[in-house]
Structure 1
Amino acid sequence: MLPPPRDVSGRVVPHDHPEILGADGIIRRVSEQFVVTDKNGFRRLSSMAVSPSSSANGGGLSVDLQRQIEEAGLDAKVFVTTPRWIGSIRFTAQQLRDEGFQVGTDPLPPDNPFHGEVWGNFTHSEKKRLLRLAQWFVALDGVAIDG
């Protein structure tokens, strides 16, 4: 895969990577911190699950690129699951692009060469919409994606 574009200080610039295909799985890892209990006692993902980080390069949503993980001969569900990241949700790149987001690579060698970012305007209503589009990749028992 082509390397991502970088600024003069070496940081990845928000971009829509041409080698990430529309059907490619885009995985967002989920921690217990992203789970809330509503007033009726039901557990669901909060908008934190689809909130970008804040950084100088535009603050992308940290994701993993499923096809690249699997092409390396790894089990994507095992790769994205750790004691901290106990679950994950999945989108396709096309779903994210249809919402106006860019989907690009942002490798983090040596631990995660399959890391990517999603860049765009993460408004409150857009986060709600993303949660409606998401599907469980590694489900959390008793937790709904969109309450």
Structure 2
Amino acid sequence: MPTPPPRDAAGAVTPHDHTDIDDADVVIRRISELQVSRDKDGKRRISSLAYQGSGSNGGMSVDVLPFVVADGRDPREWVTTPRWIGSVKFSAGFLRGLSLKVGYNPIPEVDGLPANPYHGEVWGISSKGQKNALKRAAEWFVEIDGVEVG
């Protein structure tokens, strides 16, 4: 497994570029039905909501593909659940080229929710230009039938 991420005094992971995530590594953004919208032409596509951060430190949740693979798991099976019906992928280098940080932020099991030891975050998404660049660059990892990426 990767080296532990940096944490603040309260134990929360701080935004960082993780040294165990190379520029060529792929990160996967899970997509739910709530992140799919219908455009003015009636086509279903991933909405810009999928490309923004959330939570206390504003990171966009991702799964780090090489961490999943190194643990012997099927990555498509790992990222697909009844809630997360599809996913898109990006290279860490592309994200860093947008002045974003790509880091490791494992999620422990909490209140019966499963742990995610492969969880990472992308920090620094603050402009419409960055969100548009993410939308244009996203490629399917697990495709949702009848939905366009961008």
Pick the TM interval, shorter chain: over 0.9
Residue 72 (structure 1) aligned with residue 71 (structure 2): yes
Identical aligned pairs, as a percentage? 50
SS at 1:91 equivalent: strand
Give 1:144 shift: 0.8
Number of residue pairs matched by the alignment:
144
Q: Please name the residue that 1:36 is paired with.
A: 37
TM-score (norm 1): 0.95
TM-score (norm 2): 0.93
Tell me the C-alpha RMSD between the 2 structures. Answer: 0.9
Q: Deviations over 1:28-76 (max 9, x none)?
A: 0000001110111101111111110041xx3100100000000000000
Q: Deviations over 1:75-96 (max 9, x none)?
A: 0000000000000000010010
Task: For 1:121 and 1:53, locate their aligned partners in 2 and report how far apart those are by CA, in whole Å.
Answer: 10
> Which of 124, 127, 135 pairs up with 1:120?
124
SS at 1:112 equivalent: coil
Q: Please name the residue that 1:7 is paired with.
A: 8
Task: For 1:129 and 1:105, locate their aligned partners in 2 and report how far apart those are by CA, in whole Å.
Answer: 22
Instruction: Flag structure 2 segments of 5+ consecutive residues without an equivalent.
Output: 110-114
Please tell me the residue identity of whatever aligns with 2:23: G
Please tell me the residue identity of whatever aligns with 1:21: D
